[in-house]
């Protein structure tokens, strides 16, 4: 039986999971895939300014964590499609709320940073 984790326990794997789902690339992949499956190039273009190596590493970690599936079609060249799993899909709500919060509060945060930096 698996028990619920405790994020305040320094040895709990929950911290690793929080690190993963709090990663900006993971967040952007989830938001990109919310409308349906995408190929690697489509994901890269939608996210923008992500190095192919970084996106590949992010996708592999997300697949390992059970957040996405990677399906390879036997074509030439091979077609690879990424899709959110039901668990990955369950992140859309929380991530959308946090993204909306960040976009809404961006002006206030930018103003606070400028004040703090004495600009």
- Whether 32 is covered by a domain: the verdict is yes
Average pLDDT of every residue of the chain: 94
Q: Is residue 3 part of a domain?
A: no
Please tell me the distance from the alpha carbon of residue 71 to that of residue 102, in angstroms, as a whole number.
Answer: 33
- Asked if residue 74 is part of any domain, the answer here is yes
Q: Indicate whether 80 belongs to any domain.
A: yes
6-10, 65-69, 81-85, 92-96: range with lowest mean pLDDT: 6-10
Q: Is 17 within the bounds of a domain? A: yes
Is the pLDDT score of 2 beyond 70? no
Compute how many other C-beta atoms are within 10 angstroms of the C-beta atom of residue 117: 7
- CATH code for position 76: 1.10.10.10
pLDDT exceeds cutoff 90 at 25: yes
Instruction: Dig out the tokens for 65 from the structure.
Output: 């964590």
Would 5 be classed as within a structural domain? no
Look at the chain and report how many structural domains it folds into. 1
If pLDDT is split at 50, 70 and 90, which confidence band does 3 have?
Answer: confident
Is residue 6 in a domain? Answer: no
Tell me if 2 is assigned to some domain: no
Residue 1 has a pLDDT of: 66
């Amino acid at each position: 039986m698996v028990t619920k984790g405790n994020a305040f326990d320094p040895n709990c794997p929950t911290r690793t999971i929080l690190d993963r789902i709090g990663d900006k690339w993971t967040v952007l992949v989830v938001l990109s895939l919310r409308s349906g499956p995408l190929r690697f190039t489509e994901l890269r273009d939608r996210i923008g300014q992500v190095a192919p190596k970084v996106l590949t590493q992010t996708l592999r970690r997300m697949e390992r964590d059970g957040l996405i599936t990677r399906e390879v079609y036997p074509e030439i060249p091979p077609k690879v499609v990424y899709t959110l799993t039901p668990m990955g899909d369950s992140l859309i709500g929380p991530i959308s709320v946090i993204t909306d919060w960040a976009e809404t509060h961006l002006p206030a945060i930018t103003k606070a940073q400028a004040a703090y930096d004495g600009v």
